[in-house]
Amino acid sequence: MIRNSTSSVVVQLCVLEIERERERMDPSLYRAARSGDINFLNIEDACIDPLHQRTPKENNLLHIAAEFKQIDFFKHVKLNYESPRFWVTNKSGDTPLHVAARVGCHAVVEFVIDHTKSFPLEGADDQESVPADAETYKQLLRMPNFQNDTALHIAVRYGHDKVATLLIKADPELCYYTNSANESPLFLAIRKSSPSIASYILEESPSHASPYLQGTNGLTALHAAVTHQDLASKGIVKTMVSTNPEIIREPEALGWTPLHYAALIGNLEATRVLLQSNSSVSYIMDNSGSSPLHIAAYAGHTNVMEELIRCRPDTCDLVNENGQSALHAAVIGSRINVVKYILKTPGLSGLTNEADKDGDTPLHLAAICRNQDIIRILAQDSRVDILSFNKESTTALDIFLGNNIGEQEILGNSRTILHHLKCSVGVPFLQQQISHNLKKLTTRERDTSDTLAIIGIKREQPQANLDQALKRYDNKLLVATLIATVTFAAGFTNVPGGFKNDGSPVLYEHMSFSFFQFWNMVSFILSVLAILNESTPLTVLSTRLPTPASLIQFSIGGMVIAFLAGTATLQPKHPRGSPADKLFSVMVLTFLVLAVILVSVFVVQLYRVRRMRVLLNGVI
């Protein structure tokens, strides 16, 4: 009994394998479909219909012919009601019509549409065409694949305008179908920036309803359209708004309306179209409470801001969920052009000192963001209150110094900012100064000083760093002055070898003496620049000079090289190749290499600074 059942299973498996083998596509048939060899279709095969043969992807002859745009193969292949015709799908759920739409073969698409409307009965005695049901061809056109894409979705996605036009003419209702990603054909056309297809969909869609505008993540076709400048200029945005006015108020997943997107991109023409339709949309806030004006300020588009304020002047009073105005948004976005625009616009003067929920003004935020350019612009404006306190009783200077605690160059690159904010020290820093003075007066009473230190440890830490920075400031000035004094004296009064009776240097004709004079002069100049740069920042060719500490380092390097050159000048002549000569050559070479490294680092730093400024200007 068991043996019989096993034998029957084996037989069934063999039969299934034979059936599969029969359905596998013959290689010659595949090549014929790919090349369009219609002569191959005249070969009769009574065993199996050629249309039943499949590739590993489940493509039949018509899929392959459509893939390679072989319209003649479609015209001569024999079709009958028992054949799968154009309805068969492959592993992706694509019909031959999907494949033709993907490759943009409008001839195959047109043939399939016409022959589905009126399909001939092959083999009938009268050979007459028997028209199919009037809706049969629409069912084929609307047939989705496994991604719920119709042939129109695919044609639009791949930018085949002519194929899309044929499909819409055959069935305008295709414009309302969405795929698995909730994308309509119009949304795909807008996203692909295909104005011709988008215009045709808007013009040819049925008059009883507007075309379906939905897209992914709550986006609509209008959201996508305002992000393309060319679509607004060609009237597509205006057409969509006039067709469906309420769509301008529809938010996406983040709460952004199309006006938010137009503000982000800086699409002025689209902004005007939306505001002309319904200017109240400028009051709609997103999920974080940001208005289109906030977004325009953050993105740096002053032209869009001007248009928004022109239509609705009171939008400048809008604040987000943190109580921040458009000027706050511009500071957070590091938009210097927006900050300047707001400061010079009389109607926006109320924003200059407006505080958010934490009491932070735009100047406080600039200090938090450590944006020295914006700090400088705001602090130089007489209307900006640099003495204002936030809810923690701190000023912008307090925040700026707190952000720079522990940095070696607190008074280096930032000294101009301290100059602008020098009068704005807040209550905590005054308390720290008092505690510091009391501590000096009671240095012998260690217990008392320790108690004060423990009580004010958090508040004294910034002041301690400030004191250390001031000490470094004085030390750098002292070192730079000493270098300038020594190098000046070495150049005029204490030159190596002394002077002749006529006042000229004794060793003037020696090459090493000239080398000494050059590097002594370099060291002197660098030390003088360090002194000048400490008090007033110097700029050469739009590039700020290095910090005084760096200039002093370079000056010391120049002194070392000058010392070696002077030593070489005073050395007695040794035979070439002697140990003393070799040792001295090694020392000179070592210091020269160090000097080259220092100079290279300096040049690289200059290049990086200039490159960063170019990039920042490009972003702004």
pLDDT class of 410 with cuts at 50, 70, 90: very low
- Report the distance separating Cα 119 and Cα 113, nearest Å: 10
Looking at the structure, do residues 483 and 558 belong to the same domain, yes or no?
yes
Residues 457 and 581 in one domain: no
Q: Are residues 563 and 448 in the same domain?
A: no
pTM, full prediction: 0.64
Say which residues have a Cβ less than 8 Å from residue 620's Cβ, sequence separation at least 6. 300, 334, 335, 336, 337
DSSP classification of residue 58: -
What's the confidence (pLDDT) of residue 10? 46
Helices (H), 345-456: 362-369, 372-380, 396-403, 415-420, 427-441, 446-455
What residue type is 375 in one-letter code? I
Q: What is the CATH number of the domain that holds 94?
A: 1.25.40.20
> What is the SS3 assignment for 201?
helix
Instruction: Annotate 472-538 with DSSP letters as a single string.
Output: HHHHHHHHHHHHHHHHHHHHHTS-TT-B-TTSSBTTTT-HHHHHHHHHHHHHHHHHHHHHHHHHS--
| Lowest mean per-residue pLDDT among 47-61, 194-208, 404-418, 481-495 | 404-418
Choose among 317, 313, 296, 315: nearest CA to 305. Answer: 296
Spatial contact of 526 and 561, defined as CB atoms under 8 Å apart: no
**Residue 603 and residue 58: Cα distance in Å, rounded?**
65
Does 236 or 599 have the greater pLDDT score? 236
Of 107, 127, 146, which closes a domain? 146
| Pairing state between β 543-544 and 539-540 | antiparallel
412 and 547 Cβ atoms separated by less than 8 Å: yes
Query: Of 146, 165, 195, which residue sits at a domain end?
Result: 146
Does the pLDDT at position 107 exceed 70? yes
Residue 94 contacts residue 155 (beta carbons within 8 Å): no
Average pLDDT estimate for 193-205: 89
Could you tell me which residue, 149 or 469, shows the higher pLDDT?
Answer: 149
Would residue 385 count as lying in a domain?
A: no
In this prediction, residue 443 carries a pLDDT of 46
Cα–Cα distance measured from residue 513 to residue 489, given in angstroms and rounded to the nearest whole number: 15
Q: For residue 455, is it within any domain? A: yes
Q: Which residue has the tokens 């660098």?
A: 526
Q: What is the torsional sign of CA 495, 500, 505, 511?
A: negative
For residue 576, what pLDDT band results from cuts at 50, 70 and 90?
A: low
Give just the sign of the alpha carbon dihedral 487, 489, 492, 494.
negative
> Are 143 and 85 within 8 A, CB to CB?
no
Answer for the pair 49, 85: CB distance below 8 angstroms, yes or no: no
- Per the domain annotation, does 547 fall within a domain? yes
User: Which DSSP helix (H) or strand (E) runs through 611?
Assistant: helix 579-619
Q: Do 500 and 435 sit in the same domain of this protein?
A: no
Q: Are residues 573 and 455 in the same domain?
A: no
Residues 482 and 615 in one domain: yes
81 in any annotated domain: yes
Structure tokens at 330: 């511009």
What's the average model confidence in pLDDT over 442-465? 44
Residue 54 main-chain phi, psi, to 5 deg: -130, 155
Is the Cα torsion angle 508, 510, 511, 516 positive or negative in sign? negative
Q: What is the mean pLDDT of residues 567-581?
A: 63
Same domain as 560, residue 448? no
Tell whether 443 and 499 lie within a shared domain.
Answer: no
601 assigned to some structural domain:
yes
For the ranges 255-269, 463-477, 515-529, 535-549, the one whose mean pLDDT is highest: 255-269
- Judgement on whether residues 467 and 488 belong to the same structural domain of the protein: no
**Closest-CA residue to 429 (of 457, 406, 455, 463):** 463
List phi, psi (to 5°) of 544.
-70, 140
Statement: residue 534 has pLDDT above 50: yes
Does one domain contain both 483 and 602? yes
Give, as one character, the DSSP assignment of residue 83. S
Which candidate, 321, 319, 227, places its Cα nearest to that of 274? 227
Asked if residue 179 belongs to a domain, the reply is no
Same domain, 491 and 612: yes
Domain that holds residue 88: 25-146
Distance CA 185, CA 211 (A): 9
**Contact by Cβ (8 Å): 465, 436:** no
Provide the token pair at 302.
């002053």
Q: Are 388 and 416 in contact (CB under 8 A)?
A: no
Could you list the beta-strand ranges (E) of 245-284: none
- Note whether residue 139 is domain-resident: yes
* Full DSSP string of 4-46: HHHHHHHHHHHHHHHHHHHHBPPHHHHHHHHHT-GGGGGS--S
Identify the three-state secondary structure at position 391.
Answer: coil
Task: Kindly state the tokens that stand for 521.
Answer: 């002069």
| For residue 518, pLDDT beyond 60 | yes
DSSP for 52-66 reads: G-B-TT---HHHHHH
Residue 225 Rama label (left phi>0; alpha psi -120 to 50; beta) = alpha
Q: How far is residue 266's CA from residue 296's CA, in Å, rounded to a whole number?
A: 7
Cα gap 285→299, rounded to integer Å? 16
- Residue 578 and residue 459 share a domain: no
Q: Is pLDDT of 455 > 50?
A: no
- Which of 128, 146, 164 represents a domain boundary (last residue)? 146
Q: Is residue 107 part of a domain?
A: yes
**Residue whose C-alpha is closest to residue 310's, from 343, 266, 348:** 348
Domain count, the chain: 3
Cβ pair 293, 260 in contact under 8 A: no
Count CA within 13 A, CB hemisphere, residue 500.
7
Interval 22-47: pLDDT, tens: 568 888 888 888 888 877 766 655 45
